[in-house]
Amino acid sequence: MNNLISCKDISASYDGMNVLNNLTFSVNEGDYLCIVGENGSGKSTLVKCLLGIKKIDSGNIIMGEGLSQTDIGYLPQQTQLQKGFPATVKEVVLSGCLNSRGYYPFYTSKEKKSADESMQKLGIFDLKLRSYRELSGGQQQRVLLARALCATKKLILLDEPVTALDPLASAELYSVISELNQKYKIAVIMISHDIQNSVENASHVLHLKKTGYFFGTSNEYLKSEIGSRFI
């Protein structure tokens, strides 16, 4: 099984305070890693480090062969402004190709095909001409997930994807993410506060604490002292 990301003894700070200390974990092809932890434990800082937005203070982040930080499909937390974005579903999904296309001003037929395939995988192809801002919260998250797929063939990073969704929409999105992971073999890194439901779907768990961390399989997490306290 090929390694996609290896983080070895990484440390990082935020506003002059250490929030990640000597953190070591890895993500392989086909993994579904759930990252959990209390507020202030470093989840957001870790996301920025993985995407190359923020530099680590020490340690190493090693990308596997054929993967760079710009090849990670990223679904950020959605803001109120983004929810009202005046574009069609297809335009939003296509924008996921921007990182890989350089300065070429027009989308290629290959990119358009990739967008169509991503929308089909997410069950939103029939919505492609609809206005993004007219969609429900669950539909918008599917659109943004399709956008993330356009940026990658290997790994998606999801930051609190079910925040503000109702229980039914959350369950449906979890199901779609699991299908992407299991059927299409796309590795998933998901930041979540919803530990119970997230761990049910994950193959591995990284639980960040202000003092130390846990990294292991979901089964190991459920049997661990910290896992038993939170589940």
Q: Is 77 exposed, middle or buried (0-12, 13-18, 19+ CB in 10 A)?
A: middle
Average pLDDT over residues 177-197: 93
Structural domains of the chain, with CATH? 1-72+154-171+184-231 (3.40.50.300), 79-151 (no CATH)
Band of the pLDDT at 138, cuts 50, 70, 90? very high
Instruction: Kindly report the backbone phi and psi dihedral angles of residue 209, in degrees, each rounded to the nearest multiple of 5, phi listed first.
Output: -130, 165
Cα–Cα distance measured from residue 206 to residue 214, given in angstroms and rounded to the nearest whole number: 6
Average pLDDT over residues 84-105: 80
Cα–Cα distance measured from residue 156 to residue 173, given in angstroms and rounded to the nearest whole number: 14
The tokens of 52 are what? 């190359």
- pLDDT of 21 higher than 90: yes
pLDDT of residue 98: 80
- List, for residues 141-172, the tens digit of each pLDDT value: 999 999 999 989 899 999 999 988 999 999 99
Band of the pLDDT at 103, cuts 50, 70, 90? low
- pLDDT of 231 higher than 60: yes
- pLDDT of 74 higher than 90: yes
How many angstroms separate the Cα of 32 from the Cα of each of 27, 93, 112, 151, 217?
A: 8, 23, 28, 18, 10
pLDDT of residue 23: 97
